[in-house]
Amino acid sequence: MATTYSVEHSAAQEIEQLRQQVLRLQKLSQIGLLTSSITHEFNNLLTTIINFAKLGLQADSEAERRDALQRILKAGQRGSTICNSLLGLLRQETVRREMTDLVALVEEVLTLVEKDLQRHQIRLEKDYQGRPRAPVVVGQIQQLLLNLITNARQAMPRGGRLRITVRENPETDMVEIAVHDTGVGIAADKLRLIFEPFYTTKSADEREPSGTGLGLTICRQIIEAHQGRIRVESLVGRGTTFTVKLPRRSSLGNPSAIAGAESGAN
């Protein structure tokens, strides 16, 4: 007897589900690159806590004991901040946009990457102009920034400078987040390829797995879903700047998660 299967999902729904899955997996792979430096940092924090707890227990004076407790508190608070940032990044994806303080969002991502940057001899510079807010899907913009920062770090194998700028552009009514590096740069004829799925110039070595070529594709989709823009400027041997522009007001009531349209990014 023939069995009939009811088709519960349309092809479009399945594609959308796969898209969401790729988004989640790509985020996990980016977080994976940070695991080693975050673990090191936790180890250092625990060493601080253990040593000052011992010192505090042996302390003769009240002042010494207080000092030890203060240091334990500080290390504990730092650990808690890192945990919260990590949980924020891993949090189940919602696709709801919320009015968000973008400097606070950038800071949360930087909490997770700063030790990794230090380890690679990269100096971090921040330039925040005001406290711009925009309606964004928090998890997606975090992922976008993580992708851009990881790319910047990987473009500076011998160290360098990474500058993050957040500012409001009153003329366009957009918030602009720029990630600038002093890395290897991108040749002009490659600029149009970098947003293509699976385009990568990174092969595996002893320190890092090979690239997937999905980071910028996902960045582009996230920006399109926010009706934003992304712009790249690069000079070979000098460095690269990616500027993300996000509208300060949403034009759509309830945006879909990841739009498949090809417009928007340029």
Give contact residues for ligand ADP (rule: CB under 6 A).
Answer: 147, 151-152, 155, 181, 183-186, 194, 199-202, 211-217, 240
Which residues, 6+ apart, have CB-to-CB distance to 61 below 8 Å?
Answer: none
In the complex with ligand ADP, the residue whose CB is nearer, 45 or 117, is 117
Q: What is the rounded CA–CA span in Å between residue 65 and residue 81? A: 24
Q: Helices 62-90 & 11-58, crossing angle to 10 degrees?
A: 170
In the complex with ligand ADP, the residue whose CB is nearer, 37 or 150, is 150
Q: How far is the CB of 147 from Mg ion (least distance, A)?
A: 5
User: Is 247 one of the binding residues for Mg ion (CB under 5 A)?
Assistant: no
Which residues, 6+ apart, have CB-to-CB distance to 14 below 8 Å?
Answer: none
- Quickly tell me which residue has 């594709």 as its tokens: 217
Q: How far is the CB of 24 from ligand ADP (least distance, A)?
A: 16
Q: What is the rounded CA–CA span in Å between residue 23 and residue 66? A: 47
Q: How far is the CB of 227 from ligand ADP (least distance, A)?
A: 21
In the complex with Mg ion, the residue whose CB is nearer, 38 or 218, is 218
Bridge partners (DSSP) of residue 244 are 177, 230
152 binds, among Mg ion, ligand ADP, none (CB under 5 to 8 A by kind): ligand ADP
User: Is 228 one of the binding residues for Mg ion (CB under 5 A)?
Assistant: no
Residues engaged in binding Mg ion (CB under 5 A): 151, 215
